[in-house]
Chain A
Amino acid sequence: MKSAVSLLRRLARTVLVVFLVVFGSTVLIRFAPGYLSDVREMDARYGDAARTELSAEAARSSSVRQMLSTEMSAWANGSLGLSRQYDVPVLELVLPRLAVTGSLMLRAIVFAWSLAVGASLLSNAGRNPSLLWQAPTTLLLAVPTSAIATICLLAGSGGPVLVMTLLLAARDFKFLDRLLRQAWRSPHLLQAKAQGLTTLHLVRAHILPNVASQLLALATLSIVTALSALVPVEVIFSVPGLGQLAWNAAMNRDLPVLLAVTMIMAIAVTCVGMASDRSADWQGA
Chain B
Amino acid sequence: MRGRVLASWLLLGMVLIAIAVVAAPGSSYSNQDRDLPLAGSSAHHPAGTDALGRDRMVRVAAAYLLCLAGAICASAITTAAAAGVGTLSAFSPESLGRLGMLVCDVFLALPWLFLLMMVRSALPLTTSPAHSAAITFLVLATLGWPACARAVYRGACDLRNAEWVLQVRAGGLRGRQIARHVLPNLVPLLIPQFLICIPAFIIAEANLGALGLGIGEPLPSWGGMLLELDNSAMLLQTRWVYLPIALLILILLLLEAIAVEA
A and B directly contacting (CB within 8 A): yes
Question: Are A33 and B121 in touch, CB under 8 angstroms?
Answer: yes
**B112 partner residues in chain A, CB cutoff 8 A:** 28
> Is residue B13 contacting chain A, with contact meaning CB distance below 8 A?
no
Question: Are B249 and A273 in touch, CB under 8 angstroms?
Answer: no
Interface 1/0 per residue, A138-150 and B, CB below 8 Å? 1101111011011
Interface centre among B227, B256, B260 (most CB of A within 10 A): B256
Question: Are A250 and B111 in touch, CB under 8 angstroms?
Answer: yes
> Is residue B199 contacting chain A, with contact meaning CB distance below 8 A?
yes
Interface 1/0 per residue, B111-152 and A, CB below 8 Å? 111110110110000000000000000000000000110111
Q: How many A-B residue pairs have CB under 8 A?
A: 158
Question: Are A147 and B155 in touch, CB under 8 angstroms?
Answer: no
Which residue from A129, A141, A171, A273 sits with its C-beta under 8 Å from B105? Answer: A273
Tell me what chain A mostly uses at the interface: helix, strand, loop, or mixed: helix
> Is residue B253 contacting chain A, with contact meaning CB distance below 8 A?
yes
Q: How near does chain A come to B102, taking the closest CB pair, in angstroms?
A: 6
Which residue from B109, B147, B161, B193 sits with its C-beta under 8 Å from A266? Answer: B109
Question: Are A284 and B161 in touch, CB under 8 angstroms?
Answer: yes
How many positions in chain B have a CB within 8 Å of any CB in the partner chain?
58
Interface positions of A from 6 to 64, Cβ below 8 Å from B: 13, 16-17, 20-21, 24-25, 28-29, 31-34
> Is residue A258 contacting chain B, with contact meaning CB distance below 8 A?
yes
Question: Are B199 and A265 in touch, CB under 8 angstroms?
Answer: no
Which residue from A32, A128, A139, A182 sits with its C-beta under 8 Å from B117? Answer: A32
> Is residue B243 contacting chain A, with contact meaning CB distance below 8 A?
no
Chain A: which residue is nearest B248 at the CB level? A142
Interface 1/0 per residue, B226-262 and A, CB below 8 Å? 1101111001000000000100110011001100110
| Given A25-B111, A32-B118, A129-B260, A142:B105 Cβ within 8 A | no
Question: Are A217 and B109 in touch, CB under 8 angstroms?
Answer: no
Which residue from A138, A178, A181, A276 sits with its C-beta under 8 Å from B253? Answer: A138
> Is residue A206 contacting chain B, with contact meaning CB distance below 8 A?
no
Chain B: which residue is nearest A232 at the CB level? B207
Chain A: which residue is nearest B98 at the CB level? A13
Chain B: which residue is nearest A14 at the CB level? B105
Question: Are B151 and A149 in touch, CB under 8 angstroms?
Answer: no
Chain A: which residue is nearest B206 at the CB level? A144
Question: Are B155 and A214 in touch, CB under 8 angstroms?
Answer: yes
Which residue from B105, B158, B229 sits with its C-beta under 8 Å from A214? Answer: B158
Question: Are B147 and A31 in touch, CB under 8 angstroms?
Answer: no
Q: How near does chain B come to A137, taking the closest CB pair, in angstroms?
A: 10
Question: Are A146 and B117 in touch, CB under 8 angstroms?
Answer: no
> Is residue A262 contacting chain B, with contact meaning CB distance below 8 A?
yes
Question: Are B151 and A269 in touch, CB under 8 angstroms?
Answer: no
User: How many angstroms between the C-alpha atoms of A70 and B115 in the bound complex?
Assistant: 23
> Is residue B195 contacting chain A, with contact meaning CB distance below 8 A?
yes
> Is residue B106 contacting chain A, with contact meaning CB distance below 8 A?
yes
Interface positions of A from 125 to 164, Cβ below 8 Å from B: 128-129, 131, 134-135, 138-139, 141-144, 146-147, 149-150, 153-154
> Is residue B188 contacting chain A, with contact meaning CB distance below 8 A?
yes
Question: Are B196 and A144 in touch, CB under 8 angstroms?
Answer: no
Which residue from B147, B152, B257 sits with its C-beta under 8 Å from A225? Answer: B147
Chain B: which residue is nearest A29 at the CB level? B114
> Is residue A218 contacting chain B, with contact meaning CB distance below 8 A?
yes
Question: Are A146 and B227 in touch, CB under 8 angstroms?
Answer: yes
Which residue from A28, A29, A128, A153 sits with its C-beta under 8 Å from B232? Answer: A153
User: How many angstroms between the C-alpha atoms of A19 and B195 in the bound complex?
Assistant: 34
Which residue from B118, B154, B196 sits with its C-beta under 8 Å from A213? Answer: B154
**A83 partner residues in chain B, CB cutoff 8 A:** none
User: How many angstroms between the C-alpha atoms of A28 and B227 in the bound complex?
Assistant: 28
Which A residues fall within an 8 A CB radius of B?
13, 16-17, 20-21, 24-25, 28-29, 31-34, 128-129, 131, 134-135, 138-139, 141-144, 146-147, 149-150, 153-154, 171, 174-175, 178-179, 181-182, 213-214, 216-218, 220-221, 224-225, 228, 250, 258, 262, 265-266, 269-270, 273, 276-277, 280, 284
Please name 8 further chain A to chain B contacts, defined as beta carbons within 8 Å, in addition to the given A28-B112, A29-B111, A144-B223, sorted by A numbering.
A129-B260, A134-B256, A138-B256, A175-B192, A181-B261, A213-B158, A217-B155, A221-B147
